[in-house]
Amino acid sequence: MPFRILALGDIVGRPGRMVVHRKLAELVRTQKIDLVVANGENIAGGSGITQNLFHKLRSYGVDVITLGDHVFKKVDILPTMASSERLVRPANLSEGAAGRGHTVISTNAGVQVCVFSVLGRIFMNNLPANDPFAAADRVLATIPKSVKICVCDVHAEASSEKVAMGHYLDGRVSFIFGTHTHIPTADAKILPGGSAFISDLGMCGPYDSVLGRRKDRVVRYMTTNMPQPFDVATGDVRMCGAIAEVDPETGRAISIERVEIADGNADAAYDSDDKTPPANYGGGD
């Protein structure tokens, strides 16, 4: 039987969290999903993740949570990063960075899967990172040869960097997907070496927005250059990602298809325990 992996794009604020809460379980059941991987670095008020929100995502059915350039925005996540095998930060950060760059978990289907993340370097100014290609090589050299299925989240701004990483890892990683830009791409495919690939999963969050933030605030900033509070938006919330089928014996992908589930408008932009939202725009999400 093929092993089915669901990857969800960046979960943005309370709207993103709630659509996952409401829609994930049914999707897992109807699509017979064996593993759920989600990028959670924007879940806490649009930037970062907290221990409480990590545990909420796990309770909704997310098996492994990947992070990106906002990995350290909420310091209370640091103990969880040190202790949990279900949370991975980018593998190409400094050796002294908190957390783990990859994980190998055993699923309910009895299949072991490696999950890791790398951070792009082109137009990514929030968090300096080392060579993502070399970091991916180190991860793949570390995992046991008995682990046939491997998943990589390429958290990057430039499509060229994500596409290049896909070709670099083709045949060595089962499912390679891009996150960070919050816009779903139409290039889901099986690469020549047998890897499933998509440049960007999109986001789980409000699409009547600019990348999940209130469009009026972003437009005002872009037309006046005056700092604006970039509040999380609430309109047209969707859960976006992709499902890849993988042969558990070889680790080669069989198919990939996009997922996009609408959920109307959100009732609120922030959870009660969210801190003050970002004061102004400081780069990509």
Could you tell me the CATH number of the domain that includes residue 67?
3.60.21.10
- Is the pLDDT at 33 greater than 90? The verdict is yes
Q: Residue 41 annotated as binding?
A: yes
Name residues whose C-beta falls within 8 Å of residue 150's C-beta, 6 or more positions apart in sequence.
113, 114, 115, 116, 140, 143, 172, 173, 174, 175, 251
pTM: 0.95
Q: Which residues form the domain of 177? A: 3-262
What's the rounded mean pLDDT across residues 206-218?
97
Q: Three-state SS for 30?
A: helix
Give the model confidence (pLDDT) of 234-277 as tens digits: 999 999 999 999 999 999 999 999 999 999 999 999 998 775 55
Separation CA 161–CA 177 (nearest Å): 12
Give the model confidence (pLDDT) of 102-137 as tens digits: 999 999 999 999 999 999 999 998 888 999 999 999
- Is the pLDDT at 184 greater than 70? The verdict is yes
| Per-residue pLDDT at 146 | 96
CB contact at 8 A, 12 and 43: yes
- Is the pLDDT at 8 greater than 60? The verdict is yes
Cα separations in angstroms, 259 against 162, 186, 199, 219: 19, 11, 14, 29
| Per-residue pLDDT at 273 | 75
Q: Which of 21, 55, 70, 102 is catalytic?
A: 70
Residues above pLDDT 70, as percent of the chain: 96
Which has more pLDDT, 7 or 280? 7
- Is the pLDDT at 279 greater than 70? The verdict is no
- Is the pLDDT at 10 greater than 80? The verdict is yes
Give the model confidence (pLDDT) of 39-65 as tens digits: 999 999 999 999 999 999 999 999 999
Residue 175 — pLDDT band, cuts 50, 70, 90?
A: very high
Name residues whose C-beta falls within 8 Å of residue 247's C-beta, 6 or more positions apart in sequence.
2, 3, 253, 254
The full DSSP string for 36-94 is: EEEE-TTTTTTS---HHHHHHHHHHT--EEE--TTTTSSGGGHHHHHH-TTEE--TTS-
Residues above pLDDT 90, as percent of the chain: 93
Q: Residue 42 annotated as binding?
A: yes
- Is the pLDDT at 282 greater than 60? The verdict is no
Report the residue count for the chain. Answer: 285
- Is residue 273 included in any domain, yes or no? no
- Is residue 209 included in any domain, yes or no? yes
Separation CA 143–CA 12 (nearest Å): 31
- Is residue 195 included in any domain, yes or no? yes
- Is the pLDDT at 283 greater than 50? The verdict is no
Mean pLDDT taken over the chain: 95
What's the rounded mean pLDDT across residues 16-38?
98
What's the rounded mean pLDDT across residues 167-181?
98
Q: Is residue 102 annotated as a catalytic residue, yes or no? A: no
Domain count across the chain:
1
Q: Residue 10 annotated as binding?
A: yes
- Is residue 109 included in any domain, yes or no? yes
- Is residue 279 included in any domain, yes or no? no
- Is residue 143 included in any domain, yes or no? yes
Q: Residue 180 annotated as binding?
A: yes
Q: Residue 131 annotated as binding?
A: no
What's the rounded mean pLDDT across residues 145-162?
97
- Is residue 248 included in any domain, yes or no? yes
Classify residue 156 as exposed, middle or buried by CB count within 10 Å of its CB (0-12, 13-18, 19+).
buried
| Per-residue pLDDT at 275 | 59
- Sign of the C-alpha dihedral computed for residues 47, 49, 50 and 56 taken in this order: positive
Separation CA 32–CA 34 (nearest Å): 6
Going by their DSSP bridges, the two strands 3-8 and 35-39 should be labelled as: parallel
- Is residue 241 included in any domain, yes or no? yes
